[in-house]
Amino acid sequence: MLSTRIACASGITVLCCVAALAAAADEPAGPPAASEGATQSEVVERRRKPPIVLISLDTLRADHLGCYGYSRDTSPNIDVFVKDAVLFEQYVNTGGGTLPVHMSMLTSLHPTVHDVDFKGTRPLDPARITLAEQLAEAGYTNVAFVDGGRMFGGHGFTQGFDIYDDRGGRFRRILPKVYEWLDANHSEQFFLFVHTYDIHSQYNKLPYDSPRGFNQTFARDYSGSFDGCRDGLCASTLLMHLNEELAAGRLKPTEVFSPEDLEYLVALYDGGIRYVDDELSRFFGRLKELGLYEEALIIVTSDHGEAFFEHGRLLHKEAYEEIARIPLIVKLPGATGAGLRIKSLYSVLDLMPTILDVAGVAPNEDVQGRSLVPVIGGASLEARDVRIGAGQKGKLRMQQWSYVSESTRTGRPPRLFYLPEDPGEQRDLIDSYALLAERFEAEYQAGYRADRERLARFSKGRTRIAPVEMSPEKLEELRGLGYLE
């Protein structure tokens, strides 16, 4: 039984906090307190093991949504949904891409700890406790409809799910299955996880190619000649090749696309967001028709964003803000806290404890995140810096500072940015604040060592998990998404 693997104090809200990262820097000017919110008792009062819906829109960067300040009308329906929800303005991932970030989302373990890397060679250890397993123990029926690729169930995602459908097909094939399941099972106590690659770069001719004409929503005025292909390479494969050429110094960003072509690329990406937003309007409508919307916990989020040469690269291999900062929009049962905007910094690790808290389930003792329910209730939690990246190099994200220490293969030295004045991380201040940067590097390394030790303690004496085996069809799917050459 799962319950025998959980040793954690019981209570309405349990914060199983791990020790703060060693050598934490005293960051100038601490994070602001959360917006005035619903009382803790209001949040608890609504809790009756509500339906839980988690929607992950792969590759959605927060700053391309209207509710996060984007000028383009990419998200009219999500913007309406936000009126019923709580929006977290500074919410970041844990690095590494779709696979490790989603595993962190569903285990509240940093990638260094859950040890499922971006290549997908190692599955999750079955002894790890997942969100779905804890909800199952509490009586939930758990179903997932995901878009395949790096969300392949063989990585360990199936743990705790009654149904884990990873056949994919984007929203046009995924949502009909979701609706069919909801129509037949909406009276159950359920956790529904939905994931799509519709915003992600595609294997088709155009890098971002949304259906029903949405790819032209913001690109109708384009008059250039870029058709998604060059030298026999198209779509994701082309973008990945260009990144390799840029990293090797054989190309400069200004030589890859003209300003008009780059704007076209961004317009195609934004069209994918508009398409997903349109589909979500129908999804929310179906929840309302079934009488589920009002009392459901509904979360809209992502795993990572996408780069368009803000730092000289495409896609999402790095940890700058355009990739690391993602949306988190939480509609609580009864729309408690509706309209709140939380300004303090939180991460993907906090998602699982938050969901469990709303469901009245104490998190297992291994979780590294903490529930955000008290924050929505108006409380202030101790500030925590976020280490983004599973290796010895990565990013330390603070409320106001961002320290980026890239891998040696990039050839770039460490960089330091002051986000209140430079949210796009364009002005490197490391020469002016060298001592501060050294402290941030020490904090990153201390966190990395602590997590490696945590993994070593867990793994001691355990049998090594067999590598993940994937069919030729699954490998081809990964190539189409730009994950494999």
374-429, pLDDT tens digit by residue? 999 999 899 999 999 988 889 999 999 999 997 555 567 899 999 999 999 999 99
Residues constituting the chain: 485
Q: Which domains does the chain have, with CATH numbers?
A: 2-382 (3.40.720.10)
Residue 199 has pLDDT above 50, yes or no: yes
Alpha-carbon gap, residue 112 to 96, rounded angstroms: 10
- For residues 39 and 73, which has the higher predicted lDDT (pLDDT)? 73
Please tell me the predicted confidence (pLDDT) of residue 39: 54
State residue 474's pLDDT score. 74
What's at 279, amino acid-wise?
Answer: E
Question: Any bridge partners for residue 233, and if so which?
Answer: 230
Helix/strand/coil (H/E/C) assignment for every residue in the chain: CHHHHCCCCCCCCCCCCCCCCCCCCCCCCCCCCCCCCCCHHHHHHCCCCCCEEEEEECCCCHHHCHHHCCCCCCCHHHHHHHCCCEEEEEEECCCCCHHHHHHHHHHCCCHHHHCCCCCCCCCCCCCCCCHHHHHHHCCCEEEEECCCHHHCHHHCCCCCCCEEECCCCHHHHHHHHHHHHHHHHCCCCEEEEEEECCCCCCCCCCCCCCCCCHHHCCCCCCCCCCCCEECCEEHHHHHHHHHHHHHCCCCCHHHHCCHHHHHHHHHHHHHHHHHHHHHHHHHHHHHHHCCCCCCCEEEEECCCCCEECCCCCEECCCCCHHHHECCEEEECHHHCCCCCEEEEEEEHHHHHHHHHHHCCCCCCCCCCCCCCHHHHCCCCCCCCCEEECCCCCEEEECCCEEEEECCHHHCCCCEEEECCCCCCCCCCCCCCCHHHHHHHHHHHHHHHHHHHHHHHHHHCCCCCCCCCCCCHHHHHHHHHCCCCC
Burial of 421 (0-12, 13-18, 19+ CB in 10 A): exposed
What pLDDT shows up at residue 477?
76
With cut-offs at 50, 70 and 90, classify the pLDDT of residue 466.
Answer: confident
More confident residue, 364 or 465: 364
Question: How far is the C-alpha of 260 from the C-alpha of 185, rounded, in Å?
Answer: 49
Banded pLDDT at 441 (limits 50, 70, 90): very high
pTM of the prediction? 0.89
Per-residue pLDDT tens for 92-135?
999 999 999 999 999 999 999 999 987 878 899 999 999 999 99
**Per-residue pLDDT averaged across 362-366, rounded?**
97
**What b-and-e string marks burial along 215-247, b requiring 16 or more CB atoms within 10 Å of the CB?**
bebbbeebeeebebeeeeebbbbbbbbbbeebe
pLDDT tens-digit series, residues 248-304: 889 998 899 999 999 999 999 999 999 999 999 999 999 999 999 999 999 999 999
Q: Does residue 333 surpass a pLDDT of 80?
A: yes
Q: Report the C-alpha gap between 18 and 148 in whole angstroms.
A: 33
For 444-456, what is each residue's pLDDT tens digit?
A: 999 999 999 999 9
CA-to-CA dists, residue 157 to 99, 184, 301, 366, 467, angstroms: 10, 24, 18, 18, 15
- Which pLDDT band holds residue 183 (cuts at 50, 70, 90)? very high
Minimal CA–CA distance to 317: which of 228, 211, 404, 229? 404
User: Across the strands, what pairs with 299?
Assistant: 54, 330
- The reported pLDDT for the residue numbered 41 is 55
Distance CA 268, CA 303 (A): 20
395 CB neighbour count, 10 Å cutoff: 25
Q: What is the mean pLDDT of the chain?
A: 89
Instruction: Output the pLDDT for position 12.
Output: 31
Which residues, other chains included, contact 376 with Cβ-Cβ below 8 Å and sequence gap of 6+?
34, 37, 38, 43, 86, 330, 332, 336, 337, 340, 342
Q: What is the pLDDT of residue 35?
A: 44
| Per-residue pLDDT at 205 | 83
Query: Which of the pair, 226 or 471, is modelled with greater confidence?
Result: 226
Neighbours of 1 (CB within 10 A): 6
Instruction: Quick: pLDDT tens for 9-42.
Output: 333 333 233 233 233 334 444 333 444 455 555 5
Tell me the longest C-alpha to C-alpha distance in the chain. 63
Q: Measure the N-to-C terminal CA separation of the chain; round to a whole number of Å.
A: 42
